Amino acid sequence: MPPPIKRILLAEDDTMLAGLLIDRFNMEGWDVTHVEDGQAACDIMEQDFDVMILDLLMPVKDGFEVLKEAKKKHLSYPIIVASNLSQPEELERTTELGAAAAILKSNIDLDGFVKAVREVHNTYVPNI
């Protein structure tokens, strides 16, 4: 069994949603580092995180570019894409780029996010 979740990198430009997620994740005892654009996520992704939650539509660098960068860096933790892009080919592209899971934000509540983070973290095997 993997070690418990301690640190989450949240890359989300919707500050209201980010605030709700941060509050909910903090209730779980998880420390959240929040960035509002893809470049900021790339700048710190090599720090000691347990999970990244990544929006696809963000300023500076979009989530697809962040996934490409993460793949080059061979991160040892899972990336969960959280987006409202619902086209199957877009979601399939995220897994091709290394995302461990994709969540439609419009179909999930805060407890669902917590459950998804736990499930992905507990079953993730890095491709190193």
Res 106: pLDDT: 86
Mean pLDDT, range 71-93, rounded to an integer: 87
In the chain the domains, ranked by start, together with CATH numbers, are: 7-121 (3.40.50.2300)
Cα distance between residue 57 and residue 41, in whole Å = 13
Tokens at 19, concatenated:
């605030």
Query: How sure is the predictor about 120, in pLDDT bands with cuts at 50, 70 and 90?
Result: very high
- pTM (predicted TM-score): 0.93
Res 4: pLDDT: 84
Q: What is the pLDDT of residues 19-45, one digit of tens each?
A: 999 999 999 999 999 999 999 999 999
